Amino acid sequence: MKNIIKLLLVLLTFQISNTFAQKGKELMIGAGGAFTGVLIMNQNFYGEPEVEYAPKFGYAASFNLGYSFDGHAGIMTEVQYSIQGQKYNDKQNLDGIKYEVDRDISLAYMNFPLFFKYAFGEQETRFRFMVGPQLGMLLSAEQEYLRNGAKLGSEATDLDGNTFITDANDITDRFEKIDYSVALDVGADFHLSKQWLLSAGFRMNYGFTDINAAAYRIKDIDNEYSPSHNVWGGIYISINYKVDVESYNQRSF
């Protein structure tokens, strides 16, 4: 009887060890980049006549760190430098004079997303879904605002009663320093070897914060104000190295 119990304990220990050995715990370190289409939803022309949106493209570059709990579920974070913003191009009637307007706003952010990741599929190619919150820290905000090819130097008054130049180049003070958003990534991981994998997918981000600083939430020409939000989406690609956490062959993260 004792021998049977010992045998059962040995088999149980082996089974538990084998189960944990198949969990696929992995640490992943890498770098990536994205080519994106960017948008500021609800424009802010500080009470001047608004113009039509024009396409604007941005980019992002990041360092990545991820951890897989069981080969399927995991978490991933990034330190990401991102260029966002908006372009406008249209005619504008200001003080009875018609202008051809070209305005290009560029916002530089350091973003910190925290993804919850789920992966499935064959070992060599695994599809993935990632979603999570993101914290963005504004680094700088600049614009090129030309009317008939030149700066007009028009003035407006903010909500604190201060006069400012609407077409100034440095507009960092007109935006909130922090942007809270949600990020979504749908794609696949392609194994190049046991340690190296290439990840590619569609990345989208939507900001919940009104990015206009409080003093610049100025009503438009129709005496209305709409909060502005960052939105961007594009193709994200990264190359990653997997660290064998428990010194055994593991499955894809």
Rounded Cα distance, 110 and 83, in Å: 9
User: Which residues 6+ apart lie within 8 Å of 235 measured at CB?
Assistant: 34, 35, 200, 201, 202, 203
Measured in residues, the chain has a length of: 253
Q: Is the pLDDT of residue 1 over 80?
A: no
**pLDDT for the residue 95:** 83
Answer whether residue 36 is part of any domain.
yes
Rounded Cα distance, 165 and 89, in Å: 19
**pLDDT for the residue 246:** 62
pLDDT tens-digit readout, 191-218: 898 889 999 999 999 999 999 999 999 9
Rounded Cα distance, 142 and 172, in Å: 7
**pLDDT for the residue 199:** 94
**pLDDT for the residue 74:** 93
**At 71, which CATH number?**
2.40.160.20
147's tokens: 């009317």
User: What is the 3-class SS of 174-219, one letter each residue?
Assistant: HECCEEEEEEEEEEEEEECCCCEEEEEEEEEEEECCCCECHHHCCC
Using DSSP's 3-state secondary structure scheme, residue 44 falls into coil
Rounded Cα distance, 49 and 51, in Å: 7
Answer whether residue 124 is part of any domain.
yes
The overall average pLDDT reported for the chain is: 88
* Residue of 239, 236, 240 whose CA lies nearest to 34: 236
pLDDT tens-digit readout, 85-135: 999 999 998 888 899 999 999 999 999 999 999 988 877 888 999 999 999
The count of structural domains within the chain is 1
Answer whether residue 10 is part of any domain.
no
Answer whether residue 12 is part of any domain.
no
**pLDDT for the residue 94:** 84
Q: Which pLDDT band holds residue 148 (cuts at 50, 70, 90)?
A: very high
Answer whether residue 139 is part of any domain.
yes
* Structural domain for 66, as ranges: 25-244
Lowest mean pLDDT among 8-17, 38-47, 96-105, 223-232: 8-17
Rounded Cα distance, 187 and 126, in Å: 9
Rounded Cα distance, 243 and 64, in Å: 13
Q: Is the pLDDT of residue 167 over 70?
A: yes
**φ, ψ at 10 (rounded to 5°):** -60, -45
Answer whether residue 214 is part of any domain.
yes
Answer whether residue 252 is part of any domain.
no
Answer whether residue 84 is part of any domain.
yes
**pLDDT for the residue 11:** 40
pLDDT tens-digit readout, 18-35: 443 445 688 999 999 999
**pLDDT for the residue 7:** 43
Using DSSP's 3-state secondary structure scheme, residue 182 falls into strand
* Residue of 174, 172, 166, 171 whose CA lies nearest to 147: 166
Q: Is the pLDDT of residue 2 over 70?
A: no
Using DSSP's 3-state secondary structure scheme, residue 42 falls into coil
